[in-house]
Amino acid sequence: MPSPSLPAFLWSIGEEGSDPWVTRQGGQYRMDQYTYSQHLEHQAQDLADIASTGVRHVRYGMPWRLTESSPGVFDWTLWDQAFAACEQSGLVPIVDLLHFGLPDYCDGFGNTEWISHFKRYVSAFLRRYPDPQYFTPINEPCFTAIGSGYLGVWNDQKSSEADFVRQLTYLTLGNLEALALIHADREALWVSAETFNVPIATSPEFETQAERQRLFGWLVWDLHLGLDPVPEIAEALAQCVEPEVLSRIRELAQKDRLIAGHDFYPNGVQPIGDTDKTFSIDERLALYEADARRWHQRYQVPFWISETSNFGLDVSNQSEWLQKFAQSIGKLRAEGLPLDGFCWYSRGDQYDWGTLMREPNGVVTEVGLYSAARKARPVRDLFTQLVQAGVPATATATLREDAIAVAD
């Protein structure tokens, strides 16, 4: 098998397939985005629509719980169909194996028991499918821990800093164990996707709080890449997590065979202090640029925009966000930063993300290149132009001003 290699600039689109437990009408409810979007019923069309933009790589996964409904009992039908549909459309999948949701026989991310189940699943996947070389074993370990351990809206539904730190550490260990299995089996790349929020103090007295929030957000990278957290964060780890878990993470940490992912959305700029403070698109992107420079100075690994859309802005702002984000990428690349890709997330609209899926009732979150009715929005054509133009450093100069259209 040849060594995997990504293009000089990776253009991609994702298909949202998350499935966490949430609360609905006082009971537990499996929030399966594929059920709401009916993607599996329209799989061939949806992947063909992705391919029509010119991208070759798609962020894609099938729910673990539907493949391994009982421990060690596998039904590979959905994955077989997924790989066949990707091949038919000429797409290379970036394989997503765990996206916010665990099988029913796992009781949450707050202990390490689920990790042995996950390792069994990953090993079985590798035995069945020898060809995939691009993996996101666990999508957004940090945001999974935020939703399940800090905000209390998914899965474990815990809401404390200690629960967040504990779950984040276990999710990091699960991801690193999966990567170890993958790299032992084949030449492969970790194509990461991780939330990238930008805390901003709205006045000087909140600067310490904003910095603390930033450092906790970056803890996921300290753990994965083998860096020592700052003393305050290290103390929180020592208080919440077993020494043997931290030792195993240090043993598995890696800084090669990866492209780190920044999932940055308009709502990723988070004011600390005056929470009603608003930011223009230009201001949001300038704030991302500043934190991206600082992030890269610390971690020194290649990275990409693994998720973005107009999430946090009206759908009418889609094209302006895309155009200006491409310009920001061009600027950072011109400075020498290895910002090597961009993924619009997702192909279609999502459901109930406006409330982080609290009490879901099927409300459409208008963020897709295509609407919930599978109609292309104007931003789809702009995205296609950018893909065709190549690297954003040169692409933005070739686009006509009238390419920024208002979505209908």
Q: In CATH terms, is domain 10-403 a member of 3.40.47.10? A: no
Domain boundaries, the chain: 10-403
Helix (H, G, I), strand (E, B) or coil at 76: coil
- Residue 32, pLDDT > 70, answer yes
Helix (H, G, I), strand (E, B) or coil at 128: helix
27-30 and 134-138 strand pairing: unpaired
Banded pLDDT at 405 (limits 50, 70, 90) = very low
The whole-angstrom separation of Cα 296 and Cα 332 is 11
Banded pLDDT at 339 (limits 50, 70, 90) = very high
Q: How many residues does the chain have?
A: 408
- Residue 3, pLDDT > 70, answer yes
Q: Where is 216: in which H helix or E strand? A: helix 207-225
Cβ(236)–Cβ(302) below 8 Å:
no
Predicted pLDDT at 77: 98
β-sheet bridge partners, residue 59: 14, 94
DSSP, res 403:
G
Predicted pLDDT at 393: 64
Helix (H, G, I), strand (E, B) or coil at 324: helix
The whole-angstrom separation of Cα 396 and Cα 392 is 6
Cβ(146)–Cβ(201) below 8 Å:
no
Helix (H, G, I), strand (E, B) or coil at 20: coil
Give the position of tokens 């290895």: 338
Q: Where is 10: in which H helix or E strand? A: strand 10-14
- Residue 403, pLDDT > 60, answer no
Q: How many CB atoms lie within 10 A of CB 78?
A: 16
**Mean pLDDT score of the chain:** 95
